[in-house]
Amino acid sequence: MSWGLLPYLVVALVDLGVILLVLIRRRQLTSAELPNPLDCPLREPWPLVTAVVPVRNEAENIEACVRSLLRLEPPLLEILVVDDGSTDETISLLEALLHTEPRVRLLRADTAMGWSSGKARALWSGAQQAHGDWLLFTDADTRHDPGSLYRVLSWCRKHGVEAFSCGGTYTFPDTATELLETTLYFMLTLGMPLQRIEDPEDPLAWINGQYVLIESAAYRRIGGHQAVAKHISEDMALARLVKAAKVKLAFKPRFRAYHCKNYNNVWSAMAGWTRILAMGSPWIGLGRRHFLLSVLILLGLPMASPFMIPSLLLSSCSLPACMLAVFLFGSFAGTALGLRHALGLPLWKGILWPLGAALALTVYVRAFVARFLHGEVVFKGRRAPITAPGSNGGPGSKDDAPKD
């Protein structure tokens, strides 16, 4: 075989590796789903659950979110909506709900508290007024499935879990945003160390701030959001705090308790994911070399395979070149099928994987620059420093920080 064919062979082998990773991780993630609720029925008396929803200019979402929470079974004890300085119609919409729904209460976040995260401040303010045995922290842009709380609570009771977090079902405003977010979800699930996250002896932790269910006693025992007041990444810091206090944590990304549309267009999605990757990577041990290797292997090379086939055939019509072109095409098609099976993508969108990878590659580069060169992110006009375990008085230690 000519040495000129070596780069093509490398790309084909990397594509094959991605296919294997998809299949392996799909099996692991599927096993992380919750069982049928009939396997672990929730008996009365039902636990009392308080939902805490932080809001800031959520007029577009808040009414639908609260109504979905009101439909949950078992019924919530109360829904505390905590306003953190809204300037749109959020408050007027909530006040209309207050007259018809006695379980809904509107609170104001204590703005006198000098916290890095307004969301953490709002969550803490709500938790201080909660009366439930469990606290459900959730975002205003979520729509909850009526039976999701029953399944989560029954499973937590059966397994002695004190803190639970999961993923959702996401909708997208356009194809470009779907390709971008699906590729990034794919990257995240490929690299997510689920076994370490649920290992009580391992400091590594992860929760999804859109859905966190935790026992009130455990929340107060660890100091709640007040203990992570100096961290912008309050969800990651809280997860570390949970693990450090030996509170039993479960994270099930494949259990979709809610529906959500994160962004309105691809540009806001790119900005949002840049923030997530830059600020979240220190908390899951992602250092410089790991960061760059992930970008190169999982995005850069597989993205190139469909574009390399024409150049390969134009450069040589030899039997090895033709065989390699077939191999490249097969590995690319296998990646598309793997994405279809792992993430539920239609086949035609799986074929567009290189375009999603190109968008995601842009996000990774921006996140790398924000974290390692600037040390801060700019999101919605605000500058936020990037913190890590053991910094700013938060949970963890220097030994927990990612190493390069």
Residue 278 lies in a domain: no
Taking the model in full, what pTM does it have?
Answer: 0.83
- Asked if pLDDT for residue 27 goes beyond 90, the answer is no
38, 154 in Cβ contact below 8 A?
Answer: no
Q: Is the peptide bond before 306 cis (omega within 30 degrees of 0)?
A: no
User: What is the CA angle 217-223-225, rounded to 5?
Assistant: 105
Q: Which domain holds residue 137?
A: 32-264
Task: Report how many domains make up the chain.
Answer: 2
Q: For residue 144, what pLDDT is reported?
A: 96
Residue 220 resides in a domain: yes
Is residue 188 included in any domain, yes or no?
yes
340/349 Cα distance (integer angstroms):
8
Compute the mean pLDDT over every residue in the chain, rounded to the nearest whole number: 81
pLDDT tens for residues 261-318?
989 899 999 999 998 888 888 877 777 877 777 776 666 666 666 777 777 777 777 7
What confidence score (pLDDT) does residue 224 get? 93
Q: What's the whole-number mean pLDDT along residues 105-129?
A: 82
pLDDT number for residue 117: 61
pLDDT tens by residue, 321-339: 787 778 777 777 766 776 6
The confidence score (pLDDT) of residue 399 equals 35
Same domain, residue pair 157 and 12: no
107 and 121 within one domain: yes
Residue 373 lies in a domain: yes
Highest mean pLDDT among 51-55, 348-352, 397-401 belongs to 51-55
**Whether 283 contacts 206, CB under 8 Å:** yes
For residue range 356-368, what is the model confidence (pLDDT) as tens digits? 888 888 998 899 9
How confident is the model at residue 99, as a pLDDT? 87
Q: Decide if 403 is inside a domain.
A: no
* Inside any domain, residue 270: no
Residue 393, pLDDT > 50, answer no
- pLDDT (tens digit per residue) in 243-260: 999 999 998 887 889 999
Q: Are residues 248 and 369 in the same domain?
A: no
36 pLDDT tier (thresholds 50, 70, 90) = low
Predicted confidence (pLDDT) at residue 402 exceeds the cutoff of 50: no
Is the model's pLDDT at 146 over the cut of 90?
Answer: yes
Is pLDDT of 32 > 60?
no
